[in-house]
Amino acid sequence: MKLYESSEDYLEKILILSEKIGRVHSIDIAREMSFSKPSVSVAMHKLADNGYVFIEDDGEIKLTDIGMEIAKNVYDRHVTIAKALTLLGVSEEQALIDACKIEHDISEETFSKLKEVVNKNG
């Protein structure tokens, strides 16, 4: 099942927040992404219904194995693309913004080659 870009962004954000603060709740995601808590709550329940996250009784949100796999993949793309752009001379701030846009649409073939170049030069 192909996830929407927004779902991938949520999974990536949960991964980043869990590494940063430990326990992640909808309010943390809402604050970090500048979304309303109700919007995040609806999205989290959809992700839970599809098996990408698990919501504990206390509201803590955890990635399932498949959710973690997707989140790590998206984050790897984000970091690699941003690094490639900075190697080209793009400012770090702009590279991070552009990486968010590119990470969802780049083909596996192109990403693989880009990653090779970054690993050689980065």
> Can you give the pLDDT of all 122 residues of the chain as single tens digits?
457 888 999 999 999 999 999 999 999 999 999 999 999 999 999 999 999 999 999 999 999 999 999 999 999 999 999 999 999 999 999 999 999 889 888 999 999 999 999 898 86
pLDDT on residue 105: 87
pLDDT on residue 76: 94
pLDDT on residue 9: 93
Tokens representing residue 97 in the block: 């913004």
Q: Where are the domains of the chain?
A: 1-122
Tokens representing residue 108 in the block: 């596996």
Tokens representing residue 111 in the block: 């990403």
Class of domain 1-122: mainly alpha
What pTM did the predictor assign? 0.87
pLDDT on residue 122: 67
pLDDT on residue 4: 80
Tokens representing residue 105 in the block: 């649409």
pLDDT on residue 6: 87
Q: Which residues have CB under 8 Å from 74's CB, separation 6+?
A: 8, 9, 11, 12, 103, 104
pLDDT on residue 104: 84
